[in-house]
Amino acid sequence: MNKGENGEIDPDFVARLVDYLEFDEGRVQHLFEKNYLARNWGKHDYLFRFDKEISRIERGTVLYEKDDSFEVIMGFPKIRRAMVLDPTLKKHFSGLEKVTVEEKMNGYNVRVANVKGEILAITRSGYVCPYTTERAKEKLDLRFFDDFPELVLYGEMLGPDNPYVPKEIYGIESVEFYIFDIREKNSGNPLSIARKHEILEKYDFLQVRSFGKISLKTAAEEIAKIIRTLGEKEHEGVVIKDPEMVLAPLKYTSSQSNCSDLRHAFKFYNEAGRDYMLSRIVREGFQTVEWDENEADFKKRFMQLGESILNPLRESIRSVKNGQRLYEEAKIRVKDLKTAAEFENYLKRLGIDTIFEEPQPIGNEYLIIIKKINKSTNDKTQAIWEGEVW
């Protein structure tokens, strides 16, 4: 879907961008040609997104002209993973007394910002999602964006009415926006955790659960306990942060989250990334050794692993054998049916093959079931059942 998106780019615009980015002109031209810097379509076509990490600019960063200059909304910084808690935390956060531990919640990443006077919800990849934008406007106290036009909310869209990562585990009725960072436009600098809490409380914004500050000395043990408790509820894990947000955060996840990822990956075994699968399996290996599990716990872990892999695989293979098509079901809840139409068009542009069912009224909104077709796994499995060799 990226091919040719940029069309003709105005040479004056390129010249202004060359000045702003301090890249040479050839480099900027190259970014456009390769669609590494790609123009949005439709009514937000003044927005450009970085489709690739360039120098210190994260993939998903968004850029647009404003008041004779440019404004930038930096992408989500990639959070590195601790494969073992000890000694990784001590090494990474060396010099700190305490670290802040927040829950890593399982939804989809979205930035909400005031973009030239309009509130937009921008996905991790840098697209303006019409559904998320409608929801964000509905759910958030918009005065924040007038009071702090230079700040961007970085958060997670959570809940069952979620077209990307539907989850029932948080007790959310539809969807809610949980914030984990506030960052400045242009620099992408984050506010300290104290300042973030202060602002979020003032506007009654929902925020990811905090486990508070923990002494670095005992962090590995305490986080292991937190992770076990989160895991029991199928929650994902934690992000460990420098309270001042100077050092980069680290993440660490529960076994249940690894297995849940694997269940999804093996359901659609022919589209899921091989590295994605392997990394989640390898995490299980490090966790069982770091936690020095006995044979009973180890057996529980490998049974869980085996089942998380083979059960969804069996389900998919069986479904196709029985003539069913493989799909993922998700749902959205919209105020305006126009949003649903825009969202359907948006997914099409992203190359996602979907079927939108008839809207059902629910309160003063509409619920719409979406089926996402997994063509690759479907076709591969069907071919095998028709006698094709591997």
For residue 21, give both structure tokens.
Answer: 């980015």
The amino acid that residue 295 corresponds to is E
Question: 357 to each of 324, 328, 329, 371, 372, how far by Cα in Å?
Answer: 18, 13, 11, 8, 11
The amino acid that residue 287 corresponds to is Q
Which member of 314, 336, 360, 362 binds a second copy (CB under 8 A)?
314
Footprint (CB under 8 A) of a second copy, residues 202-261: 250
Any contact of residue 306 with a second copy (CB under 8 A)? yes
State which residue, 170 or 268, has the beta carbon closest to a second copy: 268
Q: What are phi and psi of 200, to 5 degrees?
A: -60, -40
Which member of 43, 195, 202, 321 binds a second copy (CB under 8 A)?
321
- Give the list of residues 6+ apart from residue 81 with CB closer than 8 angstroms, or none: 250, 251, 252, 253
Q: Shortest gap between Cβ of 348 and a second copy (angstroms)?
A: 30
Any contact of residue 390 with a second copy (CB under 8 A)? yes
Chain-centroid distance of CA 265 in Å reads 16
Q: Give the three-state DSSP class for 235.
A: coil
Which member of 309, 326, 340, 347 binds a second copy (CB under 8 A)?
309
CA neighbours within 13 Å on the CB side: how many for 45?
8
Binding residue count for a second copy, defined by CB under 8 A: 49
For residue 387, give both structure tokens.
Answer: 């006698």
State which residue, 61 or 377, has the beta carbon closest to a second copy: 377
Cα angle 319-325-330, degrees, rounded to a multiple of 5: 105
Any contact of residue 354 with a second copy (CB under 8 A)? no
For residue 37, give both structure tokens.
Answer: 């810097």
CA distance 6 to 52: 15
CA distance 285 to 302: 10
State which residue, 171 or 273, has the beta carbon closest to a second copy: 273
Among the residue ranges 141-149, 179-187, 360-368, 381-389, the one whose residues contact a second copy (CB under 8 A): 381-389
Q: Shortest gap between Cβ of 123 and a second copy (angstroms)?
A: 24
Q: Shortest gap between Cβ of 40 and a second copy (angstroms)?
A: 32
Provide the 8-state DSSP code for 107.
S
Any contact of residue 170 with a second copy (CB under 8 A)? no
Any contact of residue 117 with a second copy (CB under 8 A)? no
Footprint (CB under 8 A) of a second copy, residues 275-304: 275, 277-279, 281-282, 284-286, 288-289, 298, 301-304
Which member of 177, 269, 346, 366 binds a second copy (CB under 8 A)?
269
Q: Closest by alpha carbon to 217, among 91, 81, 90?
A: 90
Footprint (CB under 8 A) of a second copy, residues 67-86: 80-84
Any contact of residue 388 with a second copy (CB under 8 A)? yes
Which residue ranges make up the site for a second copy (CB under 8 A)? 80-84, 87-88, 90-92, 250, 266, 269, 274-275, 277-279, 281-282, 284-286, 288-289, 298, 301-307, 309-311, 313-314, 316-318, 321, 384-390
